[in-house]
Amino acid sequence: MLTRHSDCLSVLTDSARFASDWRRAGEDIPAPLLSVQTLDPPEHTAIRHLLLDGFRAQDRQALHAAMDRWAGELLAELAGRPSFDFVGELAEPLALRFITAFLGVDAPDPAWFVPMSRTVVDGMDAGLWPEKHEPAVAARARLAEYAGGWLADPPKDGLIGYVAAHAESAGVDRSVLRNSLRVVLHAGYESASRLLGNAAAALLTYPGALAAFRTAPLAAAVDELIRYDAPVQADARVCVTETELAGVTIRVGDPVTLFLGAAHHDPLRFAHPTELRLDRAPNPHLGFGRGAHACLGASLAIRLAGSVFTALARDYPDARAVAEPAHRSNLTLRGLDRFEVTLRPHTGEEELS
């Protein structure tokens, strides 16, 4: 178990010795799990590059304008209410709308998709609760099947339009592509909505943070919000070549857990780690991973958070929490279950609970 920033960074950037593909340590991986996330170079390279090219081919300007518009409209609608749940009424619907627009498809029915997505997240803690593994594998398979439907009749535009048209020439296996689109949908929904929720909680509960956000450099501010309260708290690899790390021998087949949230609060790497400093620079957080498997959606996620919190800080300076943020019980992905906030000016008469 690694908690130091330097050790986590070493492992993330050394896929020769620390594998994401557990088959390299002799494990059996069910077919629906083979994706961009679980393959390693050289097999990983073709799908990673196809997705990367697909991400780059999207019209960023149009997407950014849409993010600004959606964030502004949602906030304006919710501002009419005495209070609302930032997670269920803003972060989650916005993330789903954004990621499906990016993929180029209609959003799935949340009543079907959200419980399925949660089952996948629960499975990330299966190292501690093995009973969560099988339902998560089944949920991944159903979501991958759903993604397969997109490929059977691909849209002209969006990421799916691009990868469907280029997969064959890129030499990418159809089922790996389908499973990887499932990863994009899931990451775009779960990680991005958690980023919005965690960041809202920090901005509305840390003294002076919302006001500071107005003048802080945008990208630095979002990076700091990720460092401070990371949506992805833990990552895992398996050792495939005996290695010594920080004086400890790690043997072939040993699982290695990287506590990214702890690394973000490592005083050897970050001065005053418990303080939220929105202009912190440099900020070498590991919230988007590093190395061969570094997040493909990082710049989009930063931009989405920028749209929401720029509009919030600019148009609703009185925004505040009306209840403590309530967290979901998951150890790998950290996020909120509920966070009741109001955008209305303080009248001085109301009692906050």
Site residues (vs ligand HEM, CB under 6 A): 20, 36-37, 48, 183-184, 187-188, 191-192, 195, 226, 231-232, 235, 287-289, 293, 295-297, 300-301
How far is it between the farthest Cα atoms of the chain?
Answer: 65
Nearest distance from C-beta of residue 52 to ligand HEM, angstroms? 9
Tokens coding 45: 């390279």
Q: Smaller CB distance to ligand HEM: residue 161 or 188?
A: 188
Tokens coding 296: 């493909």
Q: Smaller CB distance to ligand HEM: residue 71 or 343?
A: 71
Name the residue with the smallest CB distance to ligand HEM. Answer: 297
Q: Smaller CB distance to ligand HEM: residue 42 or 348?
A: 42
Nearest distance from C-beta of residue 79 to ligand HEM, angstroms? 25
Nearest distance from C-beta of residue 309 to ligand HEM, angstroms? 14
Tokens coding 47: 């799908």
Nearest distance from C-beta of residue 291 to ligand HEM, angstroms? 7
Q: Smaller CB distance to ligand HEM: residue 133 or 344?
A: 133
Nearest distance from C-beta of residue 176 to ligand HEM, angstroms? 12
Alpha helices in 158-251 (DSSP H): 158-170, 174-205, 209-215, 218-228
Q: Smaller CB distance to ligand HEM: residue 78 or 226?
A: 226
Q: Which of 63, 72, 74 is nearest to 314 (CA)?
A: 72
3-class DSSP string for 273-293: CCCCCCCCCCCCCCCCCCHHH
> How far apart are alpha carbons 202 and 206 in whole angstroms?
5
Nearest distance from C-beta of residue 235 to ligand HEM, angstroms? 5
Alpha helices in the chain (DSSP H): 5-12, 43-57, 60-79, 86, 92-103, 110-123, 133-152, 158-170, 174-205, 209-215, 218-228, 260-263, 298-315
Q: Smaller CB distance to ligand HEM: residue 97 or 344?
A: 97
